[in-house]
Amino acid sequence: MTSQTLSGPDRVRAWDLPTRLFKWSLVLLVIMAPLAKNFGDVTLAWHKMNGYAILTLLLWRIMWGFSGSTTARFSTFLAWPWTAFGYGLDVLRGRPRRFLGHNPLGGSMVLLLLVFIGLQGLAGLFVSDDIIVEGPLYAYGSPALRRAAQAFHHAAFPMMLGLIAIHVLANLAYTFLKKEPLIQAMVTGDKPAAAYEDAAATEGGSPVLALALLALSIVVVWGGLYWAAGLSAFR
């Protein structure tokens, strides 16, 4: 039985459950990151835990990008720059093109966001407030690396918010102006059946494999930080 049959005759499965859980979990953690830092978290313990959770999710998403369902795979939605540019021209010319997963421009934005958020989280591992808080890998960084990480971690957050704002506005435009239910599909997992360019319906994406990869990500990130910095990484 295919995923299209499971979703009904008029709807097809666009996104698997692990991909949807990743997206909304990442949204929550990104929102919580500045809140955890600014509300009485003097030692930044909760802020650090939040960062570790983000890195765990990103590692999980990278592995899922090679082993998940059709639309979750990088090979499906990552496009060459000229392909994304050509899609953008088609949009400006009013030539409708429909994708079950990410369109070429959307896929490029997703990659940019994943890289940017990942660099932000990695940079946080090497920063210090020069008073009581040090990142778990601060002692392993050279002075030049520490300075670069400090500058990026503090200056990059507004830029990251700008990228997120563009991503949200694009989704809203597609949802309300082009009548393509991008946001609804990331909640329900389904889209209306149509002649999509990339796939008729997403297939694959074992929940058991997703759980195994998530467990591996937790071991790598949290276990690796414990190995590098001991309990001090978590307080």
Angle, to 10 degrees, between the axis of helix 104-124 and the axis of helix 81-92?
130
pLDDT digits (tens, 9 = 90+) for 119-156: 999 999 999 877 778 899 999 999 999 999 999 998 88
Measured between alpha carbons, how far is residue 148 from residues 51, 68, 184 in Å? 18, 35, 39
pLDDT above 90 for 29: yes
pLDDT digits (tens, 9 = 90+) for 70-95: 999 999 999 888 899 999 999 888 88
Q: Which residue would you say has higher pLDDT here, 42 or 48?
A: 48
Q: Which domains does the chain have, with CATH numbers?
A: 3-234 (1.20.950)
Task: Please give the Cα distance from 112 to 115 (Å, whole number).
Answer: 5
Task: Please give the Cα distance from 28 to 169 (Å, whole number).
Answer: 18
Name residues whose C-beta falls within 8 Å of residue 213's C-beta, 6 or more positions apart in sequence: 60, 63, 64, 67
The candidate with the shortest Cα–Cα distance to 188, out of 9, 24, 5, is 24
pLDDT (0 to 100) of residue 9: 65
Measured between alpha carbons, how far is residue 158 from residues 90, 117, 127, 154, 164 in Å? 31, 12, 18, 9, 10
pLDDT above 90 for 41: no
Whole-number average pLDDT of the chain: 90
Task: Please give the Cα distance from 214 to 161 (Å, whole number).
Answer: 26
How does residue 4 score in pLDDT terms, banded at 50, 70 and 90? very low
DSSP letters along 129-152, please?
-SSS-B-TTGGGS-HHHHHHHHHH
pLDDT above 50 for 1: no
CB neighbours of residue 191 within 10 Å = 25
Q: Judge if pTM exceeds 0.85.
A: yes
pLDDT above 70 for 36: yes
SS3 77: helix
Task: Please give the Cα distance from 119 to 71 (Å, whole number).
Answer: 24
